[in-house]
Amino acid sequence: MGEVQKGLLSVIQKLKGSEEQELRIVLLGLDNAGKTTLLKRLASEEVNTITPTQGFNIKSVHSHGFKLNVWDIGGQRAIRTYWKKYLGSTDMLIYVIDSADQKRFEETGQELSELVEDENLTSVPLLVFANKQDLATASSAADIAEGLNLHTYRDRPWQIQACSALSGEGVQDGMNWICSQITSRKK
Amino acid sequence: MYSLMANCCNWLKRWREPIRKVTLIMVGLDNAGKTATVKGIQGESPEDVAPTVGFSKIDLKQGRFEVTIFDLGGGKRIRGIWKNYYAESYGIIFVVDSSDVERMEETKETMSELLRHPKISGKPVLVLANKQDKEGALAEADVIECLSLEKLVNEHKCLCQIEPCSAIIGYGKKIDKSIKKGLLWLLHIIAKDFDALYERIQKDTTEQKAAEEQEKRERAERVRKIREESYLCIF
Amino acid sequence: MMGGAVQQDAHRMFVQVCLYFYCKCLWRCLKFVVRKLTGRCELQRICYNTKPGAGRTMKIETSLRSSKNKVLQNAVSVHPDAIEKTIDTIMELKKINPDVNPQLGVSLQGCLLQIVGYRNLIAQVEKLRREPYDSEDPQHEEMLLKLWKCLKPDSPLEARISKQWCEIGFQGDDPKTDFRGMGLLGLYNLLFFAERDAAAAQQILSDSLQPKYREVSKEELSKFTKAEWEKKKFDKAIGYSFAIVGINITDLAYNLLVSGALKTHFYNVAPEAPTLSHFQQTFCYLMHEFHKFWIEEDPLDIMEFNRVREKFHKRIIKQLQNPNMALCPHFAASESLINL
Nearest to A14 among C2, C245, C248 (CB): C2
Q: If 0-12 CB within 10 Å is exposed, 13-18 middle and 19+ buried, where does residue B219 land? A: middle
Taking CB atoms and an 8 Å cutoff, what residues of chain C touch B228? none
Candidates B151, B158, B169; CA nearest to B89 is: B158
**What's the DSSP call for residue C182?**
G
Catalytic status, residue A5: no
**Contact assessment for residue A140 and residue A162, using Cβ atoms and an 8 Å cutoff:** yes
For residues C192 and C187, what is the distance between their CA atoms, to the nearest angstrom? 8
Give the residue on C whose Cα is nearest the Cα of B226. Answer: C163
Contact of C239 with chain B, judged by CB distance below 8 Å, is answered with yes
Contacts 24+ apart (CB under 8 A), A102-110: A102/A137, A102/A139, A104/A30, A105/A139, A105/A144, A105/A147, A105/A148, A106/B219, A106/B222, A106/B223, A107/A30, A107/B223, A107/B226, A108/A29, A108/A30, A108/A33, A108/A148, A109/A147, A109/A148, A109/A149, A109/B219, A110/B219, A110/B220, A110/B223
For residues A26 and A95, what is the distance between their CA atoms, to the nearest angstrom? 8
Candidates C339, C327, C190; CA nearest to C263 is: C327
- Which residue of B23, B45, B53, B79 to mutate against A (max A Cβ within 10 Å)? B53
Candidates B27, B54, B203; CA nearest to B112 is: B27
Q: For chain C, how far is it from start to end, CA to CA, in angstroms?
A: 60
Nearest to B50 among A142, A150, A177 (CB): A177
For residue C225, how many other CB atoms are within 10 A of its CB? 8
Alpha-carbon separation of residue A130 from A108, A139, B214 (angstroms): 12, 8, 26
- Active-site choice (A13, A54, A76, A181): A76
Contact of A26 with chain B, judged by CB distance below 8 Å, is answered with no
Half-sphere exposure of A120 (CA within 13 A, CB side): 16
Residue A184, pLDDT above cutoff 80: no
H or E element at residue A1: none
Mean pLDDT per segment of 10 residues, for chain B of length 235 residues? 73 73 94 92 84 92 91 92 94 94 93 93 93 91 91 90 90 87 93 92 94 93 83 47
List residues in chain A touching C: CB distance below 8 A: 1, 3-4, 7-8, 10-11, 14-15, 17, 31-32, 47-52, 54-57, 74-79, 82, 85
As a three-state string, the secondary structure of chain B is CHHHHHHHHHHHHHHHCCCEEEEEEEECCCCCCHHHHHHHHHCCCCCCCCCCCEEEEEEEEECCEEEEEEEECCCCCHHHHHHHHCCCCCEEEEEEECCCHHHHHHHHHHHHHHHHCCCCCCCCEEEEEECCCCCCCCCHHHHHHHHCHHHHHHHCCCCEEEEECCCCCCCHHHCCHHHHHHHHHHHHHHHHCHHHHHHHHHHHHHHHHHHHHHHHHHHHHHHHHHHHHCHHHCC
Contact of C19 with chain A, judged by CB distance below 8 Å, is answered with no
> Count of A–C CB contacts within 8 Å?
83
CATH domain A20-186 topology: Rossmann fold (3.40.50)
Taking CB atoms and an 8 Å cutoff, what residues of chain B touch C209? 235
Residue A13, amino acid? Q
Provide the 3-class DSSP secondary structure of residue C189. Answer: helix
Q: Chain C window 160-199: which residues touch A at a Cβ cutoff of 8 Å?
A: 171-172, 177-178, 180-182, 186
ipTM of the complex: 0.85
> Count of A–B CB contacts within 8 Å?
74
Looking at CA atoms only, how far is residue A56 from chain B in angstroms? 17
pLDDT of residue C136: 94
**What is the dihedral angle through the alpha carbons of C292, C298, C300, C303, rounded to the nearest 10 degrees?**
-30
Candidates B80, B141, B112; CA nearest to A149 is: B80
Nearest to B232 among C167, C214, C239 (CB): C167
Taking CB atoms and an 8 Å cutoff, what residues of chain C touch B230? 163, 166
Sorted by sequence, the CB contacts under 8 Å of residue C89 that are 6+ apart come out as: C71
In this prediction, the residues of chain C whose per-residue pLDDT falls under 70 are: 1-5, 38-40, 210-238, 329-340
Domains and their CATH numbers in chain B: 19-192 (3.40.50.300)
For residues C241 and C249, what is the distance between their CA atoms, to the nearest angstrom? 12
Residue C91, amino acid? M
CB contact under 8 A, B56 and A158: yes
For residue B60, how many other CB atoms are within 10 A of its CB? 14
Q: If 0-12 CB within 10 Å is exposed, 13-18 middle and 19+ buried, where does residue C78 land? A: middle
pLDDT digits (tens, 9 = 90+) for A51-100: 999 999 999 988 777 888 999 999 998 888 899 999 999 999 999 999 99
CB contact under 8 A, A142 and B54: no
**What is the dihedral angle through the alpha carbons of A149, A153, A158, A159, rounded to the nearest 10 degrees?**
10
pLDDT of residue C332: 46
**Contact assessment for residue C291 and residue C138, using Cβ atoms and an 8 Å cutoff:** no
Task: List strands edge to edge, sheet with B20-27.
Answer: A56-63, A66-73, A21-28, A92-98, A126-131, A158-162, B54-62, B65-72, B20-27, B91-97, B125-130, B160-164
pLDDT of residue A1: 46
Looking at CA atoms only, how far is residue C171 from chain B in angstroms? 9
Taking CB atoms and an 8 Å cutoff, what residues of chain A touch C186? 51
- Which residue of B223, B224, B229 to mutate against A (max A Cβ within 10 Å)? B223
Q: Is B142 annotated as a binding residue?
A: no
Candidates A118, A106, C302; CA nearest to B227 is: A106
- Which residue of C16, C133, C310 to mutate against A (max A Cβ within 10 Å)? C16
Contact of C132 with chain B, judged by CB distance below 8 Å, is answered with no
Taking CB atoms and an 8 Å cutoff, what residues of chain A touch C245? 54
